[in-house]
Structure 1
C-alpha cells in the first residue's frame, strides 16, 4: 500500500466505511486551482463529496462559486457560507416552489438554475413574480450527450430570448456540460471539447450582438475542464467535480490528469470460504453499483483480486494470496465511481498525518434537508 494511505490505528473504524485522506484532498484542490489559474474561474460541483467540510476548504482557497445538482446540495452549500450557487438541474414540479423558498430562506445567496423548455421557464417566472424574487436562469445547452438541453442553434436562441423577456427571471448565461467526452487520448479529447465549445461560443456572440447579456458559460466536467481552462474567454466558469476525491475510473480514463484518489473504502475480511476466496464486508450498499459487477473496486494491496460475487453486505474476491488473510484483517479499496459511493455513507472518517482525526458528515446525501 502506498504510504499516503497509511492509517496508524484502525480498531475504531466501523467497516465498511469511507475514509477520506485530508492531505490528498488538499493536494487535489491545489492541482485544480493550478489548472484553473484563478479561483474566480472555478465553480466546482459538490455532487462528489456532499460535505460542508470540503466546501469550507474550497472557500478558504478563495473558491466562492459552486455548482450542485439537488436543492439539498444547494442548501448545504448556502449553509456552509457559499454566496453564489448554480443548481445545474432543470426545476419542474414541486422543485419550482422549492427554488422560490430557497431564495426566501437565503436572500443573500445568488442562485441560478438551468432550463431547456419554455413551460417550466414560464412557471418559474410566475412563481418568482408572486414571491417578489428574481432567479437567474442558465440556458442548458445539449453538447451531444442528449441527456438534457437544446443544441446551440435557433431553438436555443429563442428560449434564451424568452428567459430574458420573462418577468422574475434574469438570463444568466449557458450551462455546457459534456459528460460524454471520456476520450483517453488527450488530443482526441481536446478536439471533441472544441466541437462542443465552438457552437456555444457562436450562439453567445449572436445573443450579445442582439443586446442580451451572457455573463457566464459554465463548462465541462473532470476530464474536459483543463481543456476549457486553456481557453482565454472571460465568461468561462469551470465545473469539475470528481477530482476533489478522484476515483479508479477517472484515473484510468484520464492518465494526463495529476490527481490522486483521496476517498477510499475501508473493509474487513469476514470469511475465508474456500482456499482461494476472501469474503469482505463490502457489499453494494457501501459502493456504487453502476459500474459492472466485478469492476466496482480496485484493491491497491491486492491487485490480482477478482470480484466474483457481490451482494448487499458481501464482496467475494478470488486471489492467489487468499491464504495471507484471516477474518478481521483490513483492506482499502478505491471505488471506481466515487460520486454515488459517498452518498451511501452517512459520515466519513478523516485521516490526517496517518491518524483518524475526525469524522465529516455527508449532509447532502439526502434529497431534502429543510426546504
Structure 2
C-alpha cells in the first residue's frame, strides 16, 4: 500500500470492546477473538443450515483445535480442510469426519495414508478432478495397504465456474465417477462444488446465480449417475457468500452439506461486500501507535506479518478512526492518515478489523479470547504450520 487507500466504509458494525486493564497487559500486534460474537455466528450457521448435521465448516479460516471442539460440542461433526496439517489438527481435536478439498499430489498422497493409519477413528475423504489423480491415489492405497486396504472415500470435485480446480459437470465427470465406483481401492462418496466466484451484491441475484451455476448442474449430474446405478451419498456445497442461497435451494435435499468458512469469524471484506449475511465480526487485531511521522499520520505495528497482505487495497478497518486512509504498508509497519491523528498519542492501542481474516489467522501462533471485554483464554492456531506430525 504505497498510495492513499480508503478503508471499508464506517457503516460496518463492530461493537466488541476490550477493557482498558486488559489492553494494558496485551502485547501487540495480537489476534483477538470475541467469544460472544463467535457463539452467535455458530448458532446462526446451524439455524440457516437447518441443523448442525448439514454443516461441514471449512477450518482454513481459523485453523484452531479449540474451535473444532466448539463445533463438535454443538453437533457439527463434519469438517472441511485444505491441508494435511489442517486434517490432522481436526483429528487431534476429536473431529470425526474430514473432507480434504484440495488436490493431493506428490508426497501428500503418502501423508494421507499415514494420516489414516494414525487416526483410524476419523474418516478422511478426498476430492478428485482428473484420471491421473485417480490412478496415483489407487497406486498409493495399494502400496500402503495391499489388496485388503480400506477404500478411500472420494468426492468428484466439480468446476462450476470458479476455474480453479474441478472437472466440468459433463460426460467427463460421469466417466471419472464411474471409475471411482469401480475401483477396489476407492469408494465413490459424492460431489463437491465450490463457488467462490458467486459474489453478487444483491442476495436475490446471488440466489439465482447459485441455482444456475451450481444446483442445476450437480442435480443433473446426480440424476445421470443414479441412472447408471451409482448412488450419490452427498453433495458438499459452497463457501460463505452463497451459503444462505444454498441453504434455501437445498432445504429439502437430505444429501446436501454446506461448507462456509469465513463466517465463523467474519471480516471487514465480507461484512461490507455482503451486508445481508447475518454474522457478527468475531475477530480483530490489537495494534498500537508506534510513531507520528507527521501531524496527520500515524504509524502502527500492523505490518504484513500481522495482517494479510491481500486483497489489493484496504487490509483493515478501524472502528475508532473511520476516516483512516492507508498510506504505506510494509513488513512491520502500517502508516495511516486520519484527522484524529493530532489527538492520538504514541502508545495508543486500537482494534483493527481484518479485511481478510483467513490468511490473517495463519500469521499468528495463537489468538487470545475475550469475553465481556476481558481476556479469558488463549487458543493455539495449530494448523498455521504445513506439517504437524505427519
How high is the TM-score relative to the length of structure 2? 0.93
Q: 1:115 aligns with which of 113, 125, 128?
A: 128
Q: Structure 2 matches for 1:254-265, cutoff 5 A?
A: 254-265=274-285
Q: Any idea what SS the aligned residue of 1:326 has?
A: coil
Residues 139-180 of structure 1 deviation map (CA, whole Å, 9 limit, x = unaligned): 000010100111110011101111112221001101100010
Report how far residue 129 of structure 1 moved.
2.6
**Change in 2 beyond 3 A, CA 1:175/1:2:** closer
- For 1:285 and 1:197, locate their aligned partners in 2 and report how far apart those are by CA, in whole Å: 39
Q: 1:61 aligns with which of 74, 77, 81?
A: 74
Q: 2:98 aligns with which of 85, 90, 94?
A: 85
Following TM superposition, the consecutive aligned residue runs of length 4 or more in structure 1 with deviations greater than 2 angstroms are 1-8
- For 1:117 and 1:3, locate their aligned partners in 2 and report how far apart those are by CA, in whole Å: 47
**1:66·1:84 contact (CA, 8 Å) conserved in 2?**
yes
Is 1:286 aligned to residue 306 of structure 2? yes
- For 1:141 and 1:69, locate their aligned partners in 2 and report how far apart those are by CA, in whole Å: 16
Residue aligning to 2:321: 302
Q: 2:39 aligns with which of 23, 26, 30?
A: 26
Report how far residue 22 of structure 1 moved.
0.8
Q: Structure 2 matches for 1:239-258, cutoff 5 A?
A: 239-258=259-278
Residue aligning to 1:214: 232
Residues paired across the two proteins, number: 370
Is 1:341 aligned to residue 360 of structure 2? yes
Residues 4-59 of structure 1 deviation map (CA, whole Å, 9 limit, x = unaligned): 22334212211011101111100111111110111110000000000011111111
Residue aligning to 2:255: 235
**1:126·1:167 contact (CA, 8 Å) conserved in 2?**
no
- For 2:45 and 2:138, locate their aligned partners in 1 and report how far apart those are by CA, in whole Å: 36
- For 2:104 and 2:164, locate their aligned partners in 1 and report how far apart those are by CA, in whole Å: 15
- For 2:208 and 2:320, locate their aligned partners in 1 and report how far apart those are by CA, in whole Å: 37
Report how far residue 2 of structure 1 moved.
5.2
Is 1:198 aligned to residue 205 of structure 2? no
**Change in 2 beyond 3 A, CA 1:328/1:215:** same
CA RMSD between the two structures: 1.1
Report how far residue 366 of structure 1 moved.
0.6
- For 1:364 and 1:124, locate their aligned partners in 2 and report how far apart those are by CA, in whole Å: 24
Query: Which moved further from structure 2: 120-129 or 102-111?
Result: 120-129
Residues 96-123 of structure 1 deviation map (CA, whole Å, 9 limit, x = unaligned): 1111111111111111101111112111
Report how far residue 198 of structure 1 moved.
0.4
- For 1:155 and 1:173, locate their aligned partners in 2 and report how far apart those are by CA, in whole Å: 15
Residue aligning to 1:351: 370
Report how far residue 3 of structure 1 moved.
4.6
**1:43·1:240 contact (CA, 8 Å) conserved in 2?**
yes
Is 1:158 aligned to residue 141 of structure 2? no
How high is the TM-score relative to the length of structure 1? 0.98
- For 1:153 and 1:244, locate their aligned partners in 2 and report how far apart those are by CA, in whole Å: 33
Q: Any idea what SS the aligned residue of 2:24 has?
A: coil
Report how far residue 226 of structure 1 moved.
1.1
Report how far residue 354 of structure 1 moved.
1.1
Q: Structure 2 matches for 1:145-184, cutoff 5 A?
A: 145-184=162-201
- For 1:2 and 1:236, locate their aligned partners in 2 and report how far apart those are by CA, in whole Å: 32
Q: Any idea what SS the aligned residue of 1:34 has?
A: helix
Is 1:277 aligned to residue 289 of structure 2? no
- For 1:364 and 1:3, locate their aligned partners in 2 and report how far apart those are by CA, in whole Å: 29
